[in-house]
Amino acid sequence: MKVTCLQMDMKFACPQENFKKAEDLVRQAASQGTDVAVLPETWNVGFFPKENLDTLADDNGKNVKQVFSALAKELGINIVAGSVVNRKADGIYNTAFVFNREGECVAEYDKAHLFSPMDEDKFFNKGTANATFELDGHKCGIIICYDVRFPEWTRNMTVKGLDILFMVSQWPLVRVPHLDALTKARAIENQMFVVCCNSAGKAGQTVYGGNSSINDPWGVTIAHAIGSEQEIISADCDTTILDGIRSSINVFADRRPELYKVN
């Protein structure tokens, strides 16, 4: 499965322009023969405009579904449409959407762990459920940015069996070493591919780090963005290697969940 990360530099608080750019990037990925195109976190408005947030937000994913459902079907590719600032009846959420080749929305995920150092928890509602889905017969899951720092959240999905975990993010340049370490760790400990699509550019005083990566189950980085500018990277995720890795070091069979008391 060829996976492509679209390390997008979005325009702050300008959803119309960002939708156009995101569509153009997805079309570029499709022209290069990708199976899955991946966008970063909150690409519709950036992370995140505190003024007029409600007005700028997508309305229950209406625009994302309209544009990317049709685009996935037209191009015949899967689209992990990053996440968007999303207005629901009970408040604002940071919501990821995933579409298969037929244009079906196969997953919606509301970010569970909100980044309190930047007051995300004061402006957004917390999600309460993880999301797993299938793309081309492969078991997949998705997390958003800060979620990666909570390994128990990822493990809650991977005990059910995952081939690929998608992570979409707005991770700052100053903490890129953490991003690289955490994505590799999630790949190694869960014996799966981890695809991290980070954003590029600047919002206010925060410079976002780029450095998107695709990591195999051994923790080997098989594709990595050059730096923090807008960029497209791709790699072939050969899922046929998973059975061999899992049988040679069978961490899931050797787990002792009766000993783990995580509260």
> Rounded to an integer, what distance in angstroms lies between the CA atom of residue 35 and that of residue 31?
11
Which member of 21, 41, 108, 120 is catalytic? 41
Nearest to 41 by CA among 133, 124, 129: 124
Coarse DSSP helix, strand, coil percentages of the chain, rounded to the nearest 5 percent: 35, 30, 35
Structure tokens given for 26: 């997805």
Which member of 105, 108, 111, 184 is catalytic? 111
Strand order in the sheet with 164-169: 132-135, 138-144, 164-169, 193-198, 213-215, 221-224
Verify whether residue 111 is a known catalytic residue. Answer: yes
Torsion of CA 261, 254, 163, 82, to 10 degrees: 20
Verify whether residue 140 is a known catalytic residue. Answer: no
Which member of 5, 105, 140, 145 is catalytic? 145
> Rounded to an integer, what distance in angstroms lies between the CA atom of residue 46 and that of residue 133?
26
> Rounded to an integer, what distance in angstroms lies between the CA atom of residue 48 and that of residue 68?
22
Verify whether residue 14 is a known catalytic residue. Answer: no
- Residues marked as catalytic: 41, 111, 145
